[in-house]
Structure 1
Amino acid sequence: MPPDSSSFMALNCPHDAVLPEYMGLFSLAAPPNTDLWRKPPSGDISTAPVLYTALRNPFIAAEVTVAADWELEWDQGGLVIFAGAPPGRVATAVPRPSADSTAPLTTQALSHPATPVPTSQNAGQRPGPGAGAAAAAAAAAAAVAQPQAPPPYMPPTPASKWVKVGLEFCNGACHATSVVATSDGADWARADVVRRPELRVKIERIGCALWVWYEDEVAGWKKLREVTWFFWGVEDKAVRVGVYASRPANFGTSMYERRQGFSVSPRNLCVDFEGLEIF
Protein backbone atom coordinates (compact mmCIF):
# COMPACT_ATOMS: atom_id res chain seq x y z
CA MET A 1 0.00 0.00 0.00
CA PRO A 2 1.47 3.41 -0.92
CA PRO A 3 2.34 5.74 1.97
CA ASP A 4 0.24 8.78 2.85
CA SER A 5 1.35 11.85 0.90
CA SER A 6 0.65 14.16 3.86
CA SER A 7 3.75 12.81 5.63
CA PHE A 8 6.11 13.73 2.77
CA MET A 9 8.31 16.81 2.51
CA ALA A 10 9.86 18.34 -0.61
CA LEU A 11 13.51 19.29 -1.05
CA ASN A 12 14.85 21.38 -3.96
CA CYS A 13 11.38 21.67 -5.49
CA PRO A 14 9.71 24.89 -6.72
CA HIS A 15 7.89 26.88 -4.06
CA ASP A 16 4.60 26.49 -5.91
CA ALA A 17 5.03 22.72 -6.31
CA VAL A 18 2.21 20.59 -4.91
CA LEU A 19 2.83 17.19 -3.36
CA PRO A 20 1.14 14.29 -5.18
CA GLU A 21 -2.17 13.24 -3.71
CA TYR A 22 -1.51 9.57 -4.48
CA MET A 23 1.99 8.21 -3.91
CA GLY A 24 1.26 5.05 -5.86
CA LEU A 25 1.66 6.84 -9.21
CA PHE A 26 3.26 10.27 -9.61
CA SER A 27 5.98 12.18 -11.46
CA LEU A 28 8.93 14.31 -10.39
CA ALA A 29 10.62 16.86 -12.68
CA ALA A 30 14.35 17.62 -12.48
CA PRO A 31 15.82 20.67 -14.26
CA PRO A 32 19.29 20.49 -15.85
CA ASN A 33 22.33 20.85 -13.61
CA THR A 34 20.72 19.06 -10.66
CA ASP A 35 22.44 16.27 -8.78
CA LEU A 36 22.78 14.45 -5.46
CA TRP A 37 26.46 13.76 -4.84
CA ARG A 38 29.20 14.16 -2.24
CA LYS A 39 32.83 15.08 -2.82
CA PRO A 40 35.53 14.39 -0.20
CA PRO A 41 35.75 15.25 2.55
CA SER A 42 32.09 16.26 2.93
CA GLY A 43 31.18 18.63 0.12
CA ASP A 44 27.55 17.91 -0.68
CA ILE A 45 25.94 18.68 -4.02
CA SER A 46 22.27 18.61 -3.14
CA THR A 47 20.28 20.23 -5.94
CA ALA A 48 18.19 17.24 -7.06
CA PRO A 49 14.45 17.33 -6.32
CA VAL A 50 13.62 14.90 -3.50
CA LEU A 51 10.37 13.81 -1.87
CA TYR A 52 11.03 12.12 1.47
CA THR A 53 9.26 11.11 4.66
CA ALA A 54 10.15 10.31 8.26
CA LEU A 55 9.05 6.94 9.61
CA ARG A 56 7.07 6.25 12.76
CA ASN A 57 8.38 2.69 12.98
CA PRO A 58 11.86 1.25 12.37
CA PHE A 59 12.69 1.05 8.68
CA ILE A 60 12.36 -2.38 7.04
CA ALA A 61 12.31 -1.93 3.25
CA ALA A 62 11.25 0.35 0.39
CA GLU A 63 10.76 -0.25 -3.32
CA VAL A 64 9.51 1.61 -6.39
CA THR A 65 9.44 1.41 -10.18
CA VAL A 66 11.08 4.28 -12.09
CA ALA A 67 10.64 5.17 -15.77
CA ALA A 68 11.44 8.16 -17.98
CA ASP A 69 12.51 9.26 -21.45
CA TRP A 70 16.23 9.03 -20.75
CA GLU A 71 18.24 11.05 -23.26
CA LEU A 72 21.07 13.00 -21.60
CA GLU A 73 24.16 11.58 -19.94
CA TRP A 74 23.68 10.79 -16.22
CA ASP A 75 19.88 11.18 -16.26
CA GLN A 76 18.68 9.27 -13.21
CA GLY A 77 15.92 8.65 -10.70
CA GLY A 78 15.11 6.21 -7.93
CA LEU A 79 15.07 5.64 -4.16
CA VAL A 80 17.12 7.49 -1.55
CA ILE A 81 17.56 6.89 2.19
CA PHE A 82 19.16 9.32 4.66
CA ALA A 83 20.63 8.35 8.04
CA GLY A 84 20.17 11.82 9.49
CA ALA A 85 19.00 15.12 8.08
CA PRO A 86 19.08 15.34 4.27
CA PRO A 87 21.77 17.60 2.77
CA GLY A 88 20.49 21.15 2.97
CA ARG A 89 18.33 20.37 6.00
CA VAL A 90 21.11 19.94 8.58
CA ALA A 91 20.14 21.27 11.98
CA THR A 92 22.39 23.90 13.55
CA ALA A 93 24.12 22.87 16.74
CA VAL A 94 23.10 24.94 19.78
CA PRO A 95 25.90 25.64 22.27
CA ARG A 96 25.32 24.44 25.80
CA PRO A 97 26.63 26.71 28.57
CA SER A 98 29.05 25.00 30.92
CA ALA A 99 28.09 24.56 34.56
CA ASP A 100 31.22 26.29 35.92
CA SER A 101 31.07 29.27 33.61
CA THR A 102 31.21 32.66 35.30
CA ALA A 103 29.27 35.68 34.15
CA PRO A 104 31.49 38.40 32.65
CA LEU A 105 31.75 41.70 34.45
CA THR A 106 29.44 44.38 33.15
CA THR A 107 30.37 47.92 32.27
CA GLN A 108 28.43 49.14 35.27
CA ALA A 109 30.52 47.00 37.63
CA LEU A 110 33.75 48.38 36.17
CA SER A 111 32.61 52.00 36.20
CA HIS A 112 31.27 51.80 39.78
CA PRO A 113 33.74 49.75 41.84
CA ALA A 114 32.94 48.74 45.36
CA THR A 115 33.58 51.41 48.00
CA PRO A 116 36.55 50.49 50.23
CA VAL A 117 35.71 49.84 53.86
CA PRO A 118 37.35 52.42 56.19
CA THR A 119 39.89 51.07 58.67
CA SER A 120 41.32 52.42 61.90
CA GLN A 121 44.33 53.81 60.07
CA ASN A 122 42.45 55.83 57.47
CA ALA A 123 39.43 56.69 59.61
CA GLY A 124 38.92 60.43 59.78
CA GLN A 125 41.34 61.05 56.92
CA ARG A 126 40.21 62.64 53.71
CA PRO A 127 41.11 60.66 50.59
CA GLY A 128 43.71 62.19 48.37
CA PRO A 129 42.94 63.52 44.89
CA GLY A 130 44.16 60.29 43.22
CA ALA A 131 42.44 57.85 45.57
CA GLY A 132 39.38 57.34 43.32
CA ALA A 133 41.49 56.70 40.22
CA ALA A 134 43.71 54.29 42.14
CA ALA A 135 40.69 52.34 43.40
CA ALA A 136 39.24 52.11 39.88
CA ALA A 137 42.59 50.94 38.50
CA ALA A 138 42.86 48.31 41.24
CA ALA A 139 39.33 47.04 40.50
CA ALA A 140 40.07 46.85 36.76
CA ALA A 141 43.31 44.97 37.41
CA ALA A 142 41.48 42.52 39.65
CA ALA A 143 38.85 41.97 36.94
CA VAL A 144 41.53 41.28 34.33
CA ALA A 145 43.38 38.93 36.66
CA GLN A 146 40.20 36.93 37.34
CA PRO A 147 40.15 33.85 35.06
CA GLN A 148 37.39 33.82 32.47
CA ALA A 149 35.54 30.66 31.47
CA PRO A 150 36.24 29.44 27.91
CA PRO A 151 33.45 29.74 25.33
CA PRO A 152 30.99 26.83 25.22
CA TYR A 153 32.00 23.95 22.99
CA MET A 154 30.01 23.58 19.78
CA PRO A 155 30.44 20.05 18.42
CA PRO A 156 30.53 19.98 14.62
CA THR A 157 27.47 18.52 12.98
CA PRO A 158 28.51 15.24 11.34
CA ALA A 159 27.72 14.75 7.68
CA SER A 160 24.69 12.52 7.25
CA LYS A 161 25.03 9.16 5.53
CA TRP A 162 22.81 8.43 2.57
CA VAL A 163 22.36 5.84 -0.18
CA LYS A 164 20.56 6.17 -3.49
CA VAL A 165 19.67 3.49 -6.03
CA GLY A 166 17.88 3.81 -9.33
CA LEU A 167 18.02 3.77 -13.10
CA GLU A 168 20.76 5.89 -14.70
CA PHE A 169 21.44 6.66 -18.35
CA CYS A 170 25.17 6.59 -19.14
CA ASN A 171 27.21 5.69 -22.22
CA GLY A 172 24.05 5.56 -24.30
CA ALA A 173 22.35 2.83 -22.22
CA CYS A 174 20.33 2.41 -19.02
CA HIS A 175 22.01 0.89 -15.97
CA ALA A 176 21.04 0.05 -12.42
CA THR A 177 23.32 2.25 -10.30
CA SER A 178 23.83 3.05 -6.64
CA VAL A 179 25.77 5.69 -4.70
CA VAL A 180 26.83 5.40 -1.05
CA ALA A 181 27.79 8.65 0.71
CA THR A 182 29.65 8.70 4.02
CA SER A 183 31.64 11.34 5.90
CA ASP A 184 34.68 10.42 3.76
CA GLY A 185 33.02 10.95 0.38
CA ALA A 186 30.93 8.85 -2.00
CA ASP A 187 31.36 5.95 -4.39
CA TRP A 188 29.38 4.78 -7.41
CA ALA A 189 28.39 1.23 -8.38
CA ARG A 190 26.90 0.17 -11.71
CA ALA A 191 25.22 -3.06 -12.78
CA ASP A 192 24.68 -4.55 -16.22
CA VAL A 193 22.80 -2.83 -19.00
CA VAL A 194 19.05 -2.66 -18.48
CA ARG A 195 17.30 -3.26 -21.81
CA ARG A 196 14.16 -1.33 -20.98
CA PRO A 197 13.51 2.28 -19.92
CA GLU A 198 12.01 1.28 -16.56
CA LEU A 199 13.30 -0.56 -13.52
CA ARG A 200 12.07 -1.59 -10.08
CA VAL A 201 14.57 -1.05 -7.27
CA LYS A 202 14.52 -1.89 -3.57
CA ILE A 203 16.46 -1.13 -0.40
CA GLU A 204 16.19 -3.43 2.60
CA ARG A 205 17.50 -3.39 6.15
CA ILE A 206 19.29 -6.57 7.29
CA GLY A 207 20.51 -6.03 10.85
CA CYS A 208 22.74 -2.94 10.76
CA ALA A 209 23.38 -3.32 7.02
CA LEU A 210 21.48 -1.96 4.03
CA TRP A 211 21.02 -4.24 1.02
CA VAL A 212 20.39 -2.70 -2.39
CA TRP A 213 18.43 -4.63 -5.04
CA TYR A 214 17.12 -4.25 -8.57
CA GLU A 215 14.65 -6.48 -10.40
CA ASP A 216 15.82 -8.31 -13.51
CA GLU A 217 13.10 -9.19 -16.01
CA VAL A 218 14.43 -12.77 -16.31
CA ALA A 219 16.26 -13.66 -13.08
CA GLY A 220 14.10 -11.66 -10.67
CA TRP A 221 15.65 -9.68 -7.82
CA LYS A 222 19.42 -9.20 -8.03
CA LYS A 223 21.58 -7.85 -5.25
CA LEU A 224 23.47 -4.78 -6.43
CA ARG A 225 25.49 -4.12 -3.27
CA GLU A 226 25.57 -4.38 0.51
CA VAL A 227 26.27 -1.33 2.68
CA THR A 228 27.61 -2.72 5.95
CA TRP A 229 26.96 -0.89 9.25
CA PHE A 230 24.79 1.73 7.59
CA PHE A 231 22.37 1.78 10.54
CA TRP A 232 25.06 1.50 13.24
CA GLY A 233 24.58 4.29 15.79
CA VAL A 234 21.58 5.70 13.89
CA GLU A 235 18.32 6.29 15.73
CA ASP A 236 15.20 4.95 14.05
CA LYS A 237 13.57 8.39 14.15
CA ALA A 238 16.53 9.88 12.24
CA VAL A 239 15.93 7.76 9.11
CA ARG A 240 14.39 9.50 6.08
CA VAL A 241 13.26 7.61 2.96
CA GLY A 242 12.01 8.93 -0.36
CA VAL A 243 12.51 9.29 -4.11
CA TYR A 244 14.69 11.57 -6.20
CA ALA A 245 15.22 12.67 -9.80
CA SER A 246 18.22 14.47 -11.26
CA ARG A 247 19.68 15.66 -14.55
CA PRO A 248 23.33 16.59 -13.86
CA ALA A 249 24.05 17.44 -17.51
CA ASN A 250 23.58 21.00 -18.72
CA PHE A 251 24.74 21.54 -22.29
CA GLY A 252 23.12 24.94 -22.69
CA THR A 253 22.56 26.53 -26.10
CA SER A 254 24.68 25.99 -29.18
CA MET A 255 26.79 28.65 -30.93
CA TYR A 256 24.28 28.82 -33.78
CA GLU A 257 21.39 29.37 -31.37
CA ARG A 258 23.26 32.14 -29.57
CA ARG A 259 24.16 33.90 -32.85
CA GLN A 260 20.59 33.70 -34.08
CA GLY A 261 19.24 34.96 -30.76
CA PHE A 262 17.18 31.86 -30.06
CA SER A 263 15.97 31.43 -26.50
CA VAL A 264 15.94 27.76 -25.57
CA SER A 265 14.11 26.82 -22.39
CA PRO A 266 15.82 24.20 -20.20
CA ARG A 267 14.69 20.64 -20.83
CA ASN A 268 13.54 19.07 -17.59
CA LEU A 269 13.75 15.35 -16.94
CA CYS A 270 10.35 13.96 -15.92
CA VAL A 271 10.66 10.71 -13.95
CA ASP A 272 7.57 8.57 -13.36
CA PHE A 273 7.29 6.61 -10.12
CA GLU A 274 4.88 3.72 -9.69
CA GLY A 275 4.11 1.33 -6.85
CA LEU A 276 6.02 3.14 -4.10
CA GLU A 277 6.04 1.07 -0.91
CA ILE A 278 7.80 1.94 2.35
CA PHE A 279 7.70 -0.42 5.33
Structure 2
Amino acid sequence: MPPDSSSFTALNIPNDAVPEWMGSFALAAPPNTDLWRKPPSRDTSTAPILYTALRSPFIAAEVTVSADWELEWDQGGLVIFAGAPPGRIAAATTTTTTTAPSAPAIAPSSPRAATDRSSDRSSAAPTPTSPSAATDRSSAAPTPSPPPPSAGHPHPHPHPPPSYVTQTPPPQTALPPPAYTPPAPSSKWVKVGLEFCNNACHATSVCATSDGADWALTSLPAHHARRLDLRVKIERIGYALWVWYEDEASGWKKLREVTWFFWGVEDKAVRVGVYASRPANFGVSAYERRHGGPSAGQRNLCVDFEGLEIF
Protein backbone atom coordinates (compact mmCIF):
# COMPACT_ATOMS: atom_id res chain seq x y z
CA MET A 1 0.00 0.00 0.00
CA PRO A 2 1.43 3.43 -0.91
CA PRO A 3 2.40 5.73 1.98
CA ASP A 4 0.35 8.78 2.92
CA SER A 5 1.38 11.79 0.83
CA SER A 6 0.74 14.22 3.71
CA SER A 7 3.87 12.95 5.47
CA PHE A 8 6.18 13.77 2.54
CA THR A 9 8.43 16.80 2.25
CA ALA A 10 9.55 18.32 -1.06
CA LEU A 11 13.19 19.27 -1.57
CA ASN A 12 14.35 21.44 -4.51
CA ILE A 13 10.78 21.58 -5.84
CA PRO A 14 7.68 23.52 -4.72
CA ASN A 15 5.74 22.09 -1.80
CA ASP A 16 2.62 21.75 -3.94
CA ALA A 17 4.51 19.27 -6.15
CA VAL A 18 3.79 16.49 -3.64
CA PRO A 19 1.18 14.26 -5.34
CA GLU A 20 -2.06 13.36 -3.63
CA TRP A 21 -1.50 9.65 -4.25
CA MET A 22 1.96 8.12 -3.94
CA GLY A 23 1.08 4.96 -5.86
CA SER A 24 1.82 6.54 -9.25
CA PHE A 25 3.43 9.94 -9.84
CA ALA A 26 6.26 11.67 -11.69
CA LEU A 27 9.15 14.02 -10.94
CA ALA A 28 10.65 16.45 -13.46
CA ALA A 29 14.41 17.05 -13.15
CA PRO A 30 15.86 20.08 -14.98
CA PRO A 31 19.34 19.88 -16.54
CA ASN A 32 22.34 20.23 -14.22
CA THR A 33 20.57 18.71 -11.21
CA ASP A 34 22.25 16.06 -9.09
CA LEU A 35 22.61 14.46 -5.66
CA TRP A 36 26.33 13.98 -5.08
CA ARG A 37 29.09 14.53 -2.52
CA LYS A 38 32.74 15.39 -3.04
CA PRO A 39 35.35 15.15 -0.28
CA PRO A 40 35.44 16.64 2.21
CA SER A 41 31.65 16.69 2.63
CA ARG A 42 30.89 19.07 -0.24
CA ASP A 43 27.29 18.30 -1.13
CA THR A 44 25.57 18.93 -4.43
CA SER A 45 21.88 18.70 -3.62
CA THR A 46 19.89 20.13 -6.52
CA ALA A 47 17.91 17.04 -7.57
CA PRO A 48 14.13 17.01 -6.99
CA ILE A 49 13.45 14.80 -3.94
CA LEU A 50 10.35 13.68 -2.07
CA TYR A 51 11.08 12.12 1.33
CA THR A 52 9.28 11.18 4.52
CA ALA A 53 10.16 10.58 8.17
CA LEU A 54 9.11 7.23 9.61
CA ARG A 55 7.02 6.65 12.73
CA SER A 56 8.50 3.18 13.22
CA PRO A 57 11.95 1.69 12.58
CA PHE A 58 12.77 1.38 8.89
CA ILE A 59 12.48 -2.10 7.37
CA ALA A 60 12.41 -1.78 3.56
CA ALA A 61 11.33 0.38 0.62
CA GLU A 62 10.86 -0.38 -3.08
CA VAL A 63 9.64 1.34 -6.24
CA THR A 64 9.61 0.96 -10.03
CA VAL A 65 11.21 3.77 -12.07
CA SER A 66 10.92 4.46 -15.79
CA ALA A 67 11.65 7.35 -18.17
CA ASP A 68 12.76 8.28 -21.68
CA TRP A 69 16.45 8.16 -20.87
CA GLU A 70 18.43 10.29 -23.32
CA LEU A 71 21.48 11.93 -21.77
CA GLU A 72 24.48 10.53 -19.98
CA TRP A 73 23.85 10.04 -16.23
CA ASP A 74 20.05 10.45 -16.43
CA GLN A 75 18.77 8.66 -13.32
CA GLY A 76 15.99 8.16 -10.80
CA GLY A 77 15.18 5.86 -7.90
CA LEU A 78 15.12 5.50 -4.10
CA VAL A 79 17.15 7.46 -1.56
CA ILE A 80 17.61 6.99 2.19
CA PHE A 81 19.19 9.52 4.58
CA ALA A 82 20.66 8.77 8.00
CA GLY A 83 20.08 12.29 9.30
CA ALA A 84 18.88 15.52 7.75
CA PRO A 85 19.01 15.55 3.94
CA PRO A 86 21.61 17.87 2.36
CA GLY A 87 20.07 21.31 2.05
CA ARG A 88 17.94 20.85 5.17
CA ILE A 89 20.77 21.11 7.70
CA ALA A 90 20.46 24.37 9.67
CA ALA A 91 23.72 25.79 10.97
CA ALA A 92 23.32 27.15 14.47
CA THR A 93 25.53 30.10 15.29
CA THR A 94 26.15 30.94 18.93
CA THR A 95 27.37 34.46 19.76
CA THR A 96 29.02 34.96 23.13
CA THR A 97 29.03 38.50 24.53
CA THR A 98 31.50 39.30 27.31
CA THR A 99 31.01 42.34 29.57
CA ALA A 100 33.98 43.62 31.58
CA PRO A 101 33.28 44.30 35.26
CA SER A 102 32.93 48.00 35.98
CA ALA A 103 35.13 49.70 38.56
CA PRO A 104 33.40 50.43 41.88
CA ALA A 105 32.35 54.03 42.40
CA ILE A 106 34.01 56.28 44.95
CA ALA A 107 32.51 55.72 48.36
CA PRO A 108 30.57 58.82 49.50
CA SER A 109 31.34 60.34 52.85
CA SER A 110 29.26 59.06 55.71
CA PRO A 111 26.77 61.27 57.62
CA ARG A 112 28.98 60.95 60.64
CA ALA A 113 31.94 62.48 58.80
CA ALA A 114 29.76 65.38 57.65
CA THR A 115 28.65 65.95 61.26
CA ASP A 116 32.26 65.97 62.42
CA ARG A 117 33.21 68.54 59.80
CA SER A 118 30.28 70.81 60.75
CA SER A 119 31.19 70.55 64.44
CA ASP A 120 34.78 71.47 63.62
CA ARG A 121 33.64 74.57 61.77
CA SER A 122 31.31 75.55 64.62
CA SER A 123 34.07 75.16 67.24
CA ALA A 124 36.42 77.33 65.20
CA ALA A 125 33.94 80.28 65.10
CA PRO A 126 34.49 83.03 67.78
CA THR A 127 32.15 83.11 70.78
CA PRO A 128 30.88 86.33 72.46
CA THR A 129 32.63 87.32 75.74
CA SER A 130 31.56 89.39 78.71
CA PRO A 131 33.06 92.94 79.43
CA SER A 132 34.89 91.72 82.50
CA ALA A 133 36.55 89.01 80.54
CA ALA A 134 37.59 91.58 77.94
CA THR A 135 39.08 93.84 80.68
CA ASP A 136 41.03 90.95 82.12
CA ARG A 137 42.48 90.08 78.75
CA SER A 138 43.38 93.70 78.02
CA SER A 139 45.23 94.02 81.33
CA ALA A 140 47.11 90.86 80.76
CA ALA A 141 50.39 90.69 78.91
CA PRO A 142 50.01 91.04 75.18
CA THR A 143 50.13 87.80 73.32
CA PRO A 144 51.94 87.50 70.05
CA SER A 145 49.70 87.62 67.01
CA PRO A 146 49.57 84.57 64.78
CA PRO A 147 51.83 84.61 61.76
CA PRO A 148 50.31 85.91 58.53
CA PRO A 149 49.01 83.33 56.13
CA SER A 150 51.38 82.15 53.49
CA ALA A 151 51.01 83.27 49.92
CA GLY A 152 50.14 79.80 48.72
CA HIS A 153 47.27 79.31 51.17
CA PRO A 154 45.52 82.66 51.78
CA HIS A 155 42.73 81.08 53.81
CA PRO A 156 44.01 77.95 55.49
CA HIS A 157 41.37 75.73 56.97
CA PRO A 158 41.92 75.12 60.67
CA HIS A 159 41.15 71.47 60.19
CA PRO A 160 41.82 69.99 56.73
CA PRO A 161 38.90 67.90 55.40
CA PRO A 162 39.29 64.18 55.70
CA SER A 163 40.63 62.51 52.61
CA TYR A 164 38.23 60.42 50.48
CA VAL A 165 38.90 56.71 50.51
CA THR A 166 38.82 55.03 47.10
CA GLN A 167 38.77 51.32 46.42
CA THR A 168 41.14 50.03 43.80
CA PRO A 169 39.34 47.56 41.48
CA PRO A 170 40.84 44.08 41.43
CA PRO A 171 42.97 43.29 38.41
CA GLN A 172 40.91 41.93 35.52
CA THR A 173 41.79 38.41 34.49
CA ALA A 174 41.57 37.41 30.83
CA LEU A 175 38.47 35.33 30.12
CA PRO A 176 39.12 31.90 28.61
CA PRO A 177 38.21 31.49 24.92
CA PRO A 178 34.85 29.87 24.16
CA ALA A 179 34.83 26.11 24.01
CA TYR A 180 35.42 24.61 20.58
CA THR A 181 32.26 23.20 19.04
CA PRO A 182 33.03 20.69 16.29
CA PRO A 183 30.83 20.95 13.19
CA ALA A 184 27.93 18.56 12.92
CA PRO A 185 28.89 15.44 10.98
CA SER A 186 27.47 15.17 7.48
CA SER A 187 24.53 12.84 7.14
CA LYS A 188 25.04 9.50 5.44
CA TRP A 189 22.85 8.65 2.50
CA VAL A 190 22.44 5.96 -0.16
CA LYS A 191 20.61 6.16 -3.47
CA VAL A 192 19.73 3.30 -5.82
CA GLY A 193 17.94 3.34 -9.15
CA LEU A 194 18.20 3.18 -12.90
CA GLU A 195 20.91 5.21 -14.66
CA PHE A 196 21.56 5.79 -18.35
CA CYS A 197 25.28 5.42 -19.08
CA ASN A 198 27.16 4.56 -22.29
CA ASN A 199 23.87 4.46 -24.22
CA ALA A 200 22.45 1.72 -21.99
CA CYS A 201 20.45 1.44 -18.79
CA HIS A 202 22.24 0.19 -15.68
CA ALA A 203 21.37 -0.52 -12.08
CA THR A 204 23.18 2.16 -10.09
CA SER A 205 23.94 2.90 -6.45
CA VAL A 206 25.83 5.63 -4.61
CA CYS A 207 26.86 5.59 -0.95
CA ALA A 208 27.86 8.92 0.65
CA THR A 209 29.72 9.26 3.95
CA SER A 210 31.64 12.11 5.58
CA ASP A 211 34.63 11.30 3.32
CA GLY A 212 32.73 11.62 0.04
CA ALA A 213 30.68 9.33 -2.20
CA ASP A 214 31.32 6.27 -4.35
CA TRP A 215 29.58 5.24 -7.55
CA ALA A 216 28.71 1.71 -8.66
CA LEU A 217 27.11 0.58 -11.94
CA THR A 218 25.86 -2.90 -12.75
CA SER A 219 24.94 -4.06 -16.23
CA LEU A 220 21.46 -5.52 -16.51
CA PRO A 221 20.82 -8.99 -17.98
CA ALA A 222 20.56 -9.22 -21.76
CA HIS A 223 16.81 -9.78 -21.69
CA HIS A 224 16.43 -6.60 -19.61
CA ALA A 225 19.03 -4.40 -21.28
CA ARG A 226 16.63 -2.70 -23.70
CA ARG A 227 13.90 -2.03 -21.18
CA LEU A 228 13.43 1.46 -19.79
CA ASP A 229 12.08 0.47 -16.36
CA LEU A 230 13.53 -1.19 -13.27
CA ARG A 231 12.23 -2.05 -9.80
CA VAL A 232 14.71 -1.40 -6.98
CA LYS A 233 14.64 -2.03 -3.23
CA ILE A 234 16.57 -1.08 -0.11
CA GLU A 235 16.32 -3.23 3.01
CA ARG A 236 17.68 -3.08 6.54
CA ILE A 237 19.49 -6.22 7.74
CA GLY A 238 20.81 -5.59 11.25
CA TYR A 239 23.03 -2.49 11.03
CA ALA A 240 23.60 -2.99 7.29
CA LEU A 241 21.64 -1.71 4.30
CA TRP A 242 21.16 -4.16 1.45
CA VAL A 243 20.46 -2.83 -2.05
CA TRP A 244 18.52 -4.89 -4.60
CA TYR A 245 17.11 -4.74 -8.12
CA GLU A 246 14.49 -7.06 -9.59
CA ASP A 247 15.14 -9.40 -12.51
CA GLU A 248 11.87 -10.74 -13.85
CA ALA A 249 13.54 -14.00 -14.86
CA SER A 250 15.35 -14.80 -11.60
CA GLY A 251 13.78 -12.49 -9.00
CA TRP A 252 15.61 -10.08 -6.70
CA LYS A 253 19.35 -9.69 -7.21
CA LYS A 254 21.62 -8.18 -4.60
CA LEU A 255 23.37 -5.11 -5.97
CA ARG A 256 25.52 -4.28 -2.93
CA GLU A 257 25.68 -4.29 0.86
CA VAL A 258 26.41 -1.09 2.79
CA THR A 259 27.79 -2.35 6.09
CA TRP A 260 27.17 -0.45 9.36
CA PHE A 261 24.96 2.11 7.66
CA PHE A 262 22.58 2.21 10.65
CA TRP A 263 25.30 2.10 13.32
CA GLY A 264 24.82 5.01 15.72
CA VAL A 265 21.74 6.24 13.83
CA GLU A 266 18.49 6.81 15.70
CA ASP A 267 15.35 5.41 14.11
CA LYS A 268 13.70 8.84 14.14
CA ALA A 269 16.61 10.31 12.13
CA VAL A 270 15.99 8.09 9.08
CA ARG A 271 14.41 9.71 6.00
CA VAL A 272 13.30 7.69 2.94
CA GLY A 273 12.07 8.89 -0.43
CA VAL A 274 12.55 9.11 -4.19
CA TYR A 275 14.66 11.31 -6.43
CA ALA A 276 15.21 12.20 -10.09
CA SER A 277 18.19 13.99 -11.61
CA ARG A 278 19.75 15.03 -14.91
CA PRO A 279 23.37 15.96 -14.09
CA ALA A 280 24.34 16.62 -17.73
CA ASN A 281 24.24 20.15 -19.09
CA PHE A 282 25.62 20.10 -22.62
CA GLY A 283 24.12 23.39 -23.77
CA VAL A 284 23.00 24.06 -27.36
CA SER A 285 24.74 22.53 -30.37
CA ALA A 286 25.56 24.38 -33.59
CA TYR A 287 22.82 22.45 -35.42
CA GLU A 288 20.23 23.49 -32.84
CA ARG A 289 21.33 27.12 -33.02
CA ARG A 290 20.99 27.01 -36.80
CA HIS A 291 17.69 25.13 -37.08
CA GLY A 292 16.13 26.03 -33.76
CA GLY A 293 14.11 23.82 -31.45
CA PRO A 294 14.91 22.69 -27.91
CA SER A 295 17.57 20.04 -27.48
CA ALA A 296 17.59 17.12 -25.09
CA GLY A 297 20.13 18.99 -22.99
CA GLN A 298 17.63 21.80 -22.45
CA ARG A 299 14.62 19.63 -21.63
CA ASN A 300 13.63 18.28 -18.24
CA LEU A 301 13.89 14.59 -17.47
CA CYS A 302 10.49 13.23 -16.44
CA VAL A 303 10.82 10.11 -14.25
CA ASP A 304 7.73 8.00 -13.50
CA PHE A 305 7.40 6.15 -10.19
CA GLU A 306 5.05 3.20 -9.74
CA GLY A 307 4.17 1.06 -6.74
CA LEU A 308 6.08 2.95 -4.04
CA GLU A 309 6.10 1.03 -0.76
CA ILE A 310 7.85 1.97 2.47
CA PHE A 311 7.77 -0.32 5.52
TM-score (norm 2): 0.75
Amino acid at match of 1:150: P
Greater strand share, 1 or 2? 1
Which residue identity is paired with 1:114? A
- 1:114 equivalent in alignment to 2:105: yes
Matches within 5 A, 1:43-82: 43-82=42-81
Whether 1:276 aligns to 2:284 is: no
Separation in 1, partners of 2:288, 2:15: 31
Give the structure 2 partner of residue 240 of structure 1. 271
Q: 2:177 aligns with which of 150, 154, 164?
A: 150
Q: Deviations over 1:19-72 (max 9, x none)?
A: 101100000000000000111111111110000000000000000000000010
Partner SS state of residue 71, structure 1: coil
Amino acid at match of 1:2: P
Larger-Rg structure: 2
SS in structure 2 of the partner of residue 146 of structure 1: coil
How far 1:114 sits from its partner (Å)?
2.9
Rounded Cα–Cα distance in structure 2 between residues aligned with 1:73 and 1:30? 14
1:182 aligns with 2:173: no
Contact 2:9-2:15 at 8 Å conserved across structures: no
Indicate conservation of the 8 Å contact 1:216/1:222, yes or no. yes
Contact 2:51 2:273 in 1 (8 A): yes
Give the equivalent residue in structure 2 for 1:200.
231
Tell me the TM-score normalised to structure 1 length. 0.84
Q: What is the SS of the residue equivalent to 1:6?
A: helix
Quote the sequence identity (%): 71
Instruction: Say which SS state the counterpart of residue 184 (structure 2) adopts.
Output: coil
Match of 2:22 in 1: 23
Paired residues, what number?
257
Shift of 1:148: 1.2
**Structure 1 residues 192 and 262 mapped into 2: Cα distance closer, same or farther (>3 Å)?**
closer
Could you say which residue in structure 2 is the equivalent of 1:212? 243
Equivalent residue letter for 2:185: P
Partner amino acid for 1:179? V
Equivalence for 1:221:
252
Aligned-CA RMSD value: 2.7
Q: How does 1:129-140 map to 2 (within 5 A)?
A: 139=169
Cα offsets for 1:112-133 (capped at 9, x unmatched): x332588x9xx94345xxx98x
Specify every segment of 5 or more residues in structure 1 that has no aligned partner in the other structure, as ranges: none
Whether the 8 Å CA contact 1:96–1:152 is kept in 2: the answer is no
